[in-house]
């Protein structure tokens, strides 16, 4: 989910009446370095030592902003530079396809004939993908 600020994310989490700010003994645990944590009043962790009833704990790890924090300068690139970067991406992906296919042939997984056929198929598939790529959406995967 997206929120304008950490406070908005915290407020959203606290709208669930079964979640409250964590008790002091949980909020100081070393594995919650992000600050304020929260705990469930209804759900408990399973498999705890000595059968201790530890509530399910929550923490807000990441906040994504629609702007840089503190209105920092945003890197603005010219269309020309962006186009050069797109071409660089294209060339890197093509090199990746060639390297993969050579590796498969040299390791004995593909014959020479399969190597040539699969390279053509992979390149054709990539060109279709590249032509339809949405350059506005950043896909981290």
The model's pLDDT over 62-109, given as tens digits with 9 standing for 90+, comes to 655 555 556 666 667 788 988 899 999 999 999 999 999 999 999 999
Q: Do the Cβ atoms of 6 and 63 come closer than 8 Å?
A: yes
**Residues 69, 39, 52: CA angle, nearest 5 degrees:** 140
- pTM comes to 0.46
The mean per-residue pLDDT over the stretch 53-70 comes to 65
User: In the structure encoding, which two tokens stand for residue 123, read together?
Assistant: 């390149």
- Nearest alpha-carbon partner for 95 in 63, 112, 67, 119: 119
- So what's the pLDDT on residue 141? 47
- Nearest alpha-carbon partner for 38 in 20, 15, 62: 20
Tell me the torsion sign for CA atoms 102, 106, 110, 115: positive
**Residues 6, 11, 16: CA angle, nearest 5 degrees:** 135
Q: Do the Cβ atoms of 57 and 38 come closer than 8 Å?
A: yes
- So what's the pLDDT on residue 26? 63
Name which residue leads in pLDDT, 101 or 18.
Answer: 101
């Amino acid at each position: 989910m997206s929120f304008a600020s950490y406070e908005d994310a915290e407020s959203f989490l606290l709208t669930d009446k079964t979640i409250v700010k964590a008790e002091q003994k949980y909020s100081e645990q070393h594995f919650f370095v992000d600050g304020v944590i929260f705990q469930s009043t209804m759900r408990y962790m399973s498999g705890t030592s000595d059968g201790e009833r530890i509530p399910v704990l929550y923490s807000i790890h990441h906040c994504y902003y629609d702007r840089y924090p503190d209105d920092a300068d945003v890197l603005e690139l010219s269309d020309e530079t962006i186009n050069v970067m797109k071409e660089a991406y294209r060339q890197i992906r093509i090199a990746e396809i060639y390297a993969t296919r050579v590796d498969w042939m040299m390791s004995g997984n593909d014959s020479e004939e399969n190597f040539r056929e699969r390279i053509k198929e992979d390149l054709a598939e990539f060109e279709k993908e590249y032509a339809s790529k949405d350059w506005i959406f950043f896909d981290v995967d």
